[in-house]
A and B are shown apart, each in its own frame.
Chain A
Amino acid sequence: MLRFFKGFTLLFFLTSILYAEESKVRGLLELIMTSSGNEQKESLVELSNYSDPQIKTIVEAWRKGDVYSFTNNGESIVVQQTNSGFERIKDGEILIIEDQSSLKKNRPSRRIRKSLKKIVDTADLIALDPKVRKEAVLKLGLSQNLSYLEDLRRIFKNELDPSVQKVFRESIAICLLAHGSDQEKLSAIEELGILKSVTAINFIEKIVKNASESLSDISLEPLLKDKAEVAILKIKNHQSILDFFGNLFRGFSLGSVLLIVSFGLAITFGLMGIINMAHGEFIAIGGYSCYVVQNLFASWFGTHSVGFELYFLAAIPVSFVVACLFGFLLEKSFIRFLYKRPLESLLATWGVSMIMQQSFRLVFGAANVQVNTPDWLIKSADFYGVAMSYSRIFVVGFALMVILMTWLLLSKTHLGLHIRAVMQNRKMASSLGIPVSKVNAMTFAFGCGLASLAGCALSLIGNVGPSMGQAYLVDSFMVVVIGSVGNLLGAGISSFGIGIFDQYLQPVLGPVMGKITVFFIIILFLQWKPGGLFPTKSRSLED
């Protein structure tokens, strides 16, 4: 009973301390935001004694520009804009502000941000999210600051997560490279080799270069060099494995971009035989649809709400439908007269592409428009040292889903059966009672819809402007021709092939020579296999 009581008081005591700490921290932050000069400096020094997680969230908001200040009866008040309204920094109270025009944006200066950064990083050492902990530990280690070494060693003892422990060991070793005794330096080098620390390689190289200065006992120099060599070799081996997988992922990611931009063309050019020069403009329709939906969501929900963050998901079907509609109209008005004249289709669609580009300029202006990547796609994941950004992962997944849906549509549905029949032999299909002109229009619209999905995906990683599609037109034709015209699987394999090839060549040859080399290899490949990867076997005399 007594024990229980003790426990209870301890708990009560702790929460009250925590609560007191939080309000103290909030008070200090408000003081820092409103004061200047010495007062501000003192508050900063005082704040560095605390490691409350609240510091980070508020500082982050301040940095992002979500903090506003205004004066009320001579007292200056700072508030943070959150989903629930304006929260006063000092006590977290929600204030109702009627006259929002009196709010002035409050931003930290570069100097303040720097001092706050250290405080936030130390606070992060005990953050709940292991990823945040890892980053903070590594940052402190890399600074090679002696004052952090004690903090690191102390908190390391309480760390339970093995992956974070590893980063702790790495950071402590890096710190020791600069501040340890000779023996500590030698074992730190060994440790870093065992940990395969990629970040440490620069520090080890540096210590080898200045070996005579950094060692107090010169006779240890050959030993240090030997140990460093072994460690660097280990790290470099690990690095090359990482590079291999990194390139593979980047290759897949570039491949999925190529795939998604060319898949629409694989339908309109590959299956239907129209040399569709307006393909790029349908990509641009996708990008502009994203832009319009983003702006609509911003005006409906405000830019700080969960609703706004979901605009991208809504933009996908919207752009598909819009582009399908435009594609349908284009087929009905132009394309249907050109099925027997592929070369004229080249000129006609080129003209259409120029008309469309100019209309984008008239409607949206000549400059590119801003499409902001939603917050939930902005970070990156880390798989055993290979960084993959969420937006890229999203594009890869999106591309694979588009292939799957297209395959299902073409092979499992009634419409797909009609499409394949019409594409193989228009006259025969017509005589069997398939509504050929309707199927043609549907197919072309579908191809345009796919192109606009590409535009959505591209708005995550590139610019949205009137001529955005032009940059991808050549790539798209390249993919379709290599993968054999009329073969969707071929388009898939060729785009991933080109993407991976490009990413492995780039580190060696640089971006410019890398691209030239890829084109050169493609020319050689087409000399060897003129029909592409999967040439169609046909008995027709025309082919």
Chain B
Amino acid sequence: MNITMSVLKLTKQSSFIKKFLLASLFFAFPFMASASDKVKVGILHSLSGTMAISETSLRDVLLFTFDEINKNGGVLGKQIEPVVVDGASNWPLFAEKAEQLLAQDKVAATFGCWTSVSRKSVLPVYEKYNGLLFYPVQYEGEEMSPNIFYTAEAVNQQAIPAVDFLLDEGYKKFYLLGTDYVYPQTTNLVLLEYLLSKGISIENIGGGLRKDSDGNVISAGKYTPFSHTDYQQIVSEIKKFAASGDACVINTVNGDSNVSLFKEIAASGLTADDCPIVSYSLSEDEFRSLPAKDLVGHLGCWTYFMSLDTPENEKFMSDFQAWLKTAEVPGLVKEGRVTCSPMVLSYNGVYLWKKAVEKAGSFDVDKVTAALKDGIIHEGPGGRVISQRNHHLTKNVYIGEILEDGQFSILKSYNNVHGEPFLKGKF
């Protein structure tokens, strides 16, 4: 019933899609009877290319979650059938794959995307087909699509609590450093406004400002290209900036460049006690490939840490490790696996969707979204999460200090932080 309805809705769109869908409907009929006890759910992540290192972990945890749910009776009595597609770190391809998931596989929901640019490229597709995407990775905000649910950390659930923590610790100078793309640029602009509102003067914000012809700040902080390797100049600038002893660095550098950055910082003699660096893109999963010695004592801020000592987290970790041992997934790394915030937010996303479907009594996107908007509560590994009207989540935020074994020791937690995507001009 639902399928035919959505097909009717779609047939108005274009003749090509009409033919295509009719054809697929025709082919689908013989299998319908056997498929009715299953529901298709999409996984849209890069399994190859530069982002594969991070995104493959999310695919693994999603498959684990589906298996866990299926074992306990599925969703509305139906077993979840995952449809895994590879975005291949190629942003236009993400849009194509999303279209394939929605038009051809007709998935009830999709879990996917890591980079903001991949999310931006699939967004029009989800709005066109009225699909539902769960997005799990910290991002810059300033967006709220009716067809996307952001389980991710909004800026006020990561960047701002970390700055609050540093302000409490007595730091008065902030150096902003990031990779040159949308997430760091937007986050740093929001942070600039926030810091100014907290009484930090503009000359105590390092990294430089760029203004347009009207004198409005359009970019704050220092930016380097992707896979930049030479951080000598920037580190000497940070050293000068930190000479007064009350400075810290807000680091939104992404990927490989962090290795060069932290090696240069360590070589310059700056320690975490002189000038702590809080990194927004480094979680337990990334530490597997960073020189731990150089990171010790620096800070991180996420809504989940592997070192959290709660029964939910204990169960999540041991179940995931047990699943890894028995699962048969091509290219699955079984040794030395850790859990991190984006993985837990993916896991929470699936359970929120399951509970919303059960509350709505239907897989229909509009009904599920409405149920989510009413507030679904889930006790996840990182603490309680509640879905909000604005498509974000209320969750706990933790500040941690990096240990040499690649774990965080938790220094402070902020409970039940309301996710707020639109922050520009709020302070």
Contact = CB atoms under 8 A, between A and B. Distances in A.
Given A460-B263, A512-B224, A512-B225, A387 B233 contact: no
Given A365-B333, A387-B239, A380 B291 contact: no
Nearest to B228: A511
Main secondary structure of the interface of B (DSSP, over half): mixed
Nearest to B232: A250
Contact of B245 (A65, A114, A139, A373): A139
A121 to B, nearest CB: 10
B68 interface: no
B264 A463 contact: no
A260 B268 CA distance: 22
Chain B interface size range = 35 or more
A460 to B, nearest CB: 7
Interface in B3-44: none
A530 interface: no
A356 B244 CA distance: 48
Nearest to A114: B273
A198 interface: yes
A435 interface: no
Contacts of A463: 256, 259-260, 289
A370 B404 CA distance: 12
A471 B56 CA distance: 23
B233 A250 contact: yes
Contacts of A257: 230
A129 to B, nearest CB: 14
B409 interface: yes
B269 A465 contact: no
A511 B234 contact: yes
A390 B409 contact: no
B224 A511 contact: yes
Nearest to A461: B263
Contacts of A390: 267
A510 interface: yes
A375 to B, nearest CB: 9
B111 interface: no
A389 B260 CA distance: 13
Interface in A200-232: 202-203
A507 B223 CA distance: 12
B160 interface: no
B208 interface: yes
B411 A110 contact: yes
Interface in B145-160: none
Interface in A363-388: 365-373, 377-380, 387
B293 interface: yes
A503 B296 CA distance: 29
B290 A370 contact: yes
B263 A199 contact: no
Given A203-B244, A503-B232, A366 B263 contact: no
A367 B290 CA distance: 10
Given A142-B244, A512-B223, A465 B256 contact: yes
Interface string A510-533: 111001000000000000000000
A246 B234 CA distance: 12
Interface in A248-265: 250, 253-254, 257
A68 to B, nearest CB: 13
A227 to B, nearest CB: 21
Given A142-B245, A463-B256, A254 B52 contact: no
Interface in B255-303: 256, 259-260, 263-264, 266-269, 273, 288-294, 296-297
A220 to B, nearest CB: 25
A391 interface: yes
A199 B290 CA distance: 32
A391 B239 CA distance: 17
A511 B227 contact: no
Nearest to B241: A202
Given A110-B411, A250-B232, A391-B267, 13 more contacts: A369-B289, A372-B292, A373-B293, A380-B268, A387-B239, A391-B263, A461-B267, A502-B230, A507-B237, A510-B208, A510-B223, A511-B223, A511-B234
- In the complex, the 6 A-B pairs of residues with the closest C-beta atoms, listed nearest first: A389-B267, A463-B259, A368-B289, A367-B289, A199-B243, A142-B245
Interface of B: 52-53, 56, 180, 208, 222-225, 227-230, 232-234, 236-237, 239-240, 243-245, 256, 259-260, 263-264, 266-269, 273, 288-294, 296-297, 333, 401, 403-404, 409, 411
18 contacts: A107-B403, A107-B409, A139-B245, A250-B232, A368-B289, A370-B289, A371-B291, A373-B263, A373-B267, A373-B291, A373-B294, A380-B269, A389-B269, A463-B289, A503-B232, A507-B233, A511-B223, A511-B228
